A = this chain, B = another copy of it.
Amino acid sequence: MTRYEHLAKLLAERINQGLYLCGERLPSVRALSKEHGVSISTVQQAYYLLEEQRLITPQPRSGYFVTPHKLGHPLPALTRPVQQPVDVTQWDEVLAMLSTRQEKGLFRLGYGRPDLTQPTLKPLWKIITRIGQQQDAAMLDYDDIYGVYELREQIARLAIDSGCQLMPEEIVITNGCQEALSVSVRAVCQPGDIVAVESPAYHGIMQTLRGFGVKVIEIPTDSQTGISLEALELALEQWPIKAAIVVPNCNNPLGFIMPQARKRALLSLAQRFNIAIIEDDVYGELAWQYPRPCTIKSFDQEGRVLLCSSFSKTLAPGLRVGWVSPGRYLDRVLHMKYIVTGATVQHTQLAVAEFVRQGFYHAHLRRMRQCYQRSLDVFTACVLQHFPCGVCVTRPQGGYLLWIELPETVDTTWLDKQMRKHRIQIAVGSMFSASGKYDNCLRLNYGLPFTEQTEEALKLLGKMIEEAMEASLSEQAVR
Contacts and interface: CB of A to CB of B under 8 A. Distances in A.
Interface in A128-152: 128-129, 132-133, 135, 137, 139-145, 149
Interface stretch (A22-30, A203-211, A418-426, A438-446): A203-211
Contacts of A175: 175, 320, 341-344
A362 to B, nearest CB: 19
A316 interface: yes
A142 B182 contact: no
Given A132-B132, A207-B335, A341-B179, A141 B125 contact: no
A125 B135 contact: yes
Contact of A341 (B143, B145, B176, B347): B176
B101 A145 contact: yes
Contacts of A116: 137, 140-141
A119 to B, nearest CB: 12
A95 interface: yes
A334 interface: yes
A contacts with B: majority SS = helix
Given A145-B101, A341-B341, A318 B335 contact: no
Nearest to A186: B211
B140 A133 contact: no
A339 B174 CA distance: 13
Contacts of A75: none
B113 A142 contact: yes
A179 B132 CA distance: 25
Given A128-B132, A204-B339, A211-B339, A318 B178 contact: no
A22 to B, nearest CB: 39
A348 to B, nearest CB: 6
A276 B13 CA distance: 65
A365 interface: no
A346 B318 contact: yes
Contact of A345 (B124, B139, B149, B319): B319
A116 B139 CA distance: 10
B141 A316 contact: yes
A99 interface: yes
Interface residues of A, number: 63
A6 to B, nearest CB: 38
Contacts of A113: 141-142
A145 B143 CA distance: 24
A338 interface: yes
Contacts of A331: 95
A119 B49 CA distance: 54
Given A341-B341, A345-B348, A132 B135 contact: no
B142 A101 contact: yes
A363 B133 CA distance: 22
Contacts of A135: 125
A202 to B, nearest CB: 12
Contacts of A121: 140
A98 B132 CA distance: 26
A191 interface: yes
A301 interface: no
A106 to B, nearest CB: 13
Contact of A140 (B95, B102, B318): B318
A117 interface: yes
Contact of A98 (B207, B338, B341): B338
23 contacts: A101-B142, A101-B145, A111-B142, A113-B141, A116-B141, A125-B133, A129-B132, A139-B318, A141-B316, A178-B338, A178-B339, A178-B340, A178-B341, A182-B339, A191-B213, A210-B339, A211-B336, A212-B339, A318-B345, A320-B344, A345-B347, A345-B348, A347-B347
Interface of A: 91, 94-95, 98-99, 101-102, 111, 113, 116-117, 121, 124-125, 128-129, 132-133, 135, 137, 139-145, 149, 175-176, 178-179, 182, 186, 190-191, 204, 207-208, 210-213, 316-320, 331, 334-336, 338-348
Question: Which 5 residue pairs spanning A and B have beta carbons closest together?
Answer: A140-B316, A178-B342, A129-B132, A175-B341, A211-B339
